[in-house]
């Protein structure tokens, strides 16, 4: 399945802009937005997949797929964006598969360049580059870990935990959090390069077949929720 096409992401961007005005910039929590998407967006063929996605995200409030959303997880924002997911989920091969390298290349070019996914914030190339560097370092550590029976992974975990505690004590924002927040904000403001990054990292994409409703819903919920950046940073 291809990523949503630039045209489709532009349509989504328009919907998000309208919702931002409607909610006066007060976005719901990720779990609530996703729960609302699950309950209202899903064509019957995709219900099981998107329900599993909600369960994986920790949404458990007596949710009724296709019906009313129960409990405090209800987020009208998600319900308003649901029709876009329902339409986009059944589309196939809308644009070619893009990798993070492709998205970074698009983001590096000017807004007037003939590219697939444009950056309008000017920060996507740098932020996507950081994600790539982080992912490639993690892959290298995994390779070392195989030879050292996981010792490198343990040390990395201890080091990361130490940095997190230090940053929290100092009141500082860690680079990964900043990049995640920036990507989500750029996506919300219409950068299709940032939106593509959110969609690309929200699930597993293949060349053929219908899009996974769970992946689509996760990406939209990340972009349109107050704490979506936290979910996003957990994906890389």
Q: How does pLDDT run across 58-93, given as a tens digit for each residue?
A: 444 334 433 444 344 445 777 788 889 888 876 654
- Residues 185, 187: Cα–Cα separation, whole Å: 5
How high is the pLDDT of residue 153?
53
Phi, psi of 225 (to 5 degrees): -125, 150
Q: What is the CA radius of gyration of the chain?
A: 18
Q: Is residue 1 part of a domain?
A: no
CA-to-CA distance for 224 and 18, rounded, in angstroms?
12
132 within domain boundaries: no
**Can you tell me the distance from the alpha carbon of 191 to that of 225, in angstroms, rounded to the nearest whole number?**
17
Lowest pLDDT segment from 26-30, 34-38, 141-145: 141-145
Q: Is residue 67 part of a domain?
A: yes
Structural domains counted in the chain: 1
pLDDT at 58: 47
Whole-angstrom distance, CA of residue 154 vs CA of residue 108: 36
Q: Is 97 inside any structural domain?
A: yes
What is the Cα–Cα distance from 166 to 49, expressed in whole angstroms?
39
pLDDT at 188 over 90: yes
What's the mean per-residue pLDDT of the chain?
76
Q: What is the pTM of this model?
A: 0.75
Instruction: Please report whether residue 151 resides in a domain.
Output: no
Contact criterion met (CB below 8 Å) for 72 and 29:
no
d(CA 98, CA 196) in angstroms, rounded, equals 8
Per-residue pLDDT at 35: 86
Residue 129 belongs to some domain of the structure: no
Whether residue 179 has pLDDT greater than 80: yes
Is there a domain that residue 145 lies in?
Answer: no
Residue 72 belongs to domain spanning: 6-124+174-234
Q: What is the structure's pLDDT at 114?
A: 86
* Residue 146 forms part of a structural domain: no
84 vs 51 pLDDT, higher one:
84
Higher model confidence: residue 223 or residue 79? 223
Element (H, E) at 109: none
Confidence band, pLDDT 50/70/90 cuts, at residue 111: confident
């Amino acid at each position: 399945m291809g990523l949503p096409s630039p045209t489709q992401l532009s349509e989504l961007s328009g919907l998000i802009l309208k919702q931002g005005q409607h909610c006066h910039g007060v976005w719901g929590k990720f779990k609530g937005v996703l729960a609302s998407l699950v309950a209202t967006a899903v064509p019957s063929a995709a219900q099981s997949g998107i329900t599993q996605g909600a369960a994986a995200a920790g949404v458990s409030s007596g949710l009724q797929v296709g019906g009313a959303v129960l409990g405090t997880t209800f987020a009208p924002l998600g319900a308003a964006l649901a029709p876009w997911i329902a339409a986009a989920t059944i589309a196939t091969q809308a644009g070619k598969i893009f990798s993070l390298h492709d998205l970074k290349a698009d983001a590096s070019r000017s807004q007037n360049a003939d590219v697939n996914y444009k950056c309008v914030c000017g920060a996507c190339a740098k932020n996507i580059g950081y994600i790539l560097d982080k992912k490639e370092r993690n892959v290298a550590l995994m390779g070392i870990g195989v030879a050292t029976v996981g010792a490198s992974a343990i040390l990395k975990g201890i080091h990361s935990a130490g940095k997190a505690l230090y940053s929290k004590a100092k009141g500082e924002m860690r680079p990964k959090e900043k990049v995640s927040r920036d990507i989500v904000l750029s996506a919300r403001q219409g950068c299709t390069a940032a939106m593509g990054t959110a969609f690309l990292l929200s699930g597993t994409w293949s060349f053929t077949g219908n899009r996974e409703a769970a992946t689509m819903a996760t990406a939209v919920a990340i972009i349109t929720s107050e704490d979506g950046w936290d979910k996003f940073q957990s994906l890389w």
